[in-house]
Amino acid sequence: MAGINLVKGQKIDLTKGNAGLSNVIVGLGWDPAEPSRGFFGIKKQANIDCDASALLLNENGKLTNKLNLVCFHNKQNANNSVVHSGDNLTGEGDGDDEQIMVNLKQIPADVHKVLVVVNIYDAVNRKQDFGMIKSAYIRIINAAGNAELVKFNLTDNYTGFTALICGELYRHGDEWKFAAIGEAAHAAHINQLAERYI
């Protein structure tokens, strides 16, 4: 079954329509925008380092434990239910640049939201922003069988912003749902973004 393409703001049930769903992969992808051509048609390399992170928030939207910021400098939460696969999973054919593995059934009870964000590493020093990125998306894959459940293409103009709030997995009663957010933010470092939720 093909995944459902979401639009910004849309919320969709994950576990209700997929009984038994537990292990999902959150895949994030992006491409550098057309590289500008310098003299003699030599391509300038657009070396933009995007980093995906997950913020595990409580029911009040707060980050209560520093292990609940799952990112390049903390690749998993305390019980390994949310694991960042690191930067080395590129080029595996399906286009995801980074992936976060989530075991929905094992997420600690005090975590109500898994907020997935992408920011540009060292954006300020390198004078980079999301206007230099195109074809960004977030998708959710059922790890059992690798079926793509939902996909959300981030199509807004994010020029001038250094972070993207892509989407969130969240508890709704006994179920898990996904919300396509697609909001831009300013954050020179993932820790600055995380501070908003403390």
Partner 1 sequence: MAINLSKGQKIDLTKTNPGLSKITVGLGWDTNKYDGGKDFDLDVSVFLTDASGKVAKESNFIFFNNKQNENASVVHTGDNRTGEGDGDDEQVQVDLQNIPADVDKIAFTITIYDAEGRSQNFGQVSRSYVRIVNDANSEELIRFDLGEDFSVETGVVVGELYRNGAEWKFNAIGSGYKDGLAGLTRDYGLQ
* Residue of 87, 94, 148, 183 interacting with partner 1 (CB under 8 A): 183
Tell me how far apart the alpha carbons of residues 150 and 104 are, in angstroms, rounded to a whole number.
16
120 binds partner 1 (CB under 8 A): no
Nearer to partner 1, 31 or 156 (CB): 156
What tokens does 32 get? 């550098």
How far apart are CB 49 and partner 1 at their closest, in Å? 22
How far apart are CB 182 and partner 1 at their closest, in Å? 8
Which residues have C-beta within 8 Å of that of residue 52, sequence separation ≥ 6?
Answer: 28, 71, 84, 97, 98, 99, 100, 116, 117, 118
End-to-end alpha-carbon separation of the chain, Å? 39
How far apart are CB 161 and partner 1 at their closest, in Å? 7
How far apart are CB 184 and partner 1 at their closest, in Å? 6
* Residue of 28, 50, 116, 181 interacting with partner 1 (CB under 8 A): 181
Q: What residues numbered 55-84 form the site for partner 1, per CB under 8 A?
A: 61
Nearer to partner 1, 27 or 182 (CB): 182
Tell me how far apart the alpha carbons of residues 183 and 126 are, in angstroms, rounded to a whole number.
22
Between 8 and 37, how does the x/- string for binding to partner 1 read (CB under 8 A)? xxxx--------------------------
The count of chain residues that interact with partner 1, using the rule CB under 8 A, is: 19
Tell me how far apart the alpha carbons of residues 109 and 34 are, in angstroms, rounded to a whole number.
44
CA distances from 1 to 40, 94, 145, 149 (A): 47, 16, 11, 8
How far apart are CB 35 and partner 1 at their closest, in Å? 26
* Residue of 4, 46, 143, 184 interacting with partner 1 (CB under 8 A): 184
Using the contact rule CB under 8 A, the part of the chain among 70-78, 120-128, 129-137, 176-184 near partner 1 is: 176-184
Which residues have C-beta within 8 Å of that of residue 147, sequence separation ≥ 6?
Answer: 1, 3, 141
What are the DSSP E strand ranges found in 33-162?
A: 50-57, 69-70, 82-84, 98-103, 113-120, 133-142, 147-154
The residues that touch partner 1, with contacts defined as CB under 8 A, are: 7-11, 61, 156, 161, 165, 172, 177, 179-181, 183-186, 196
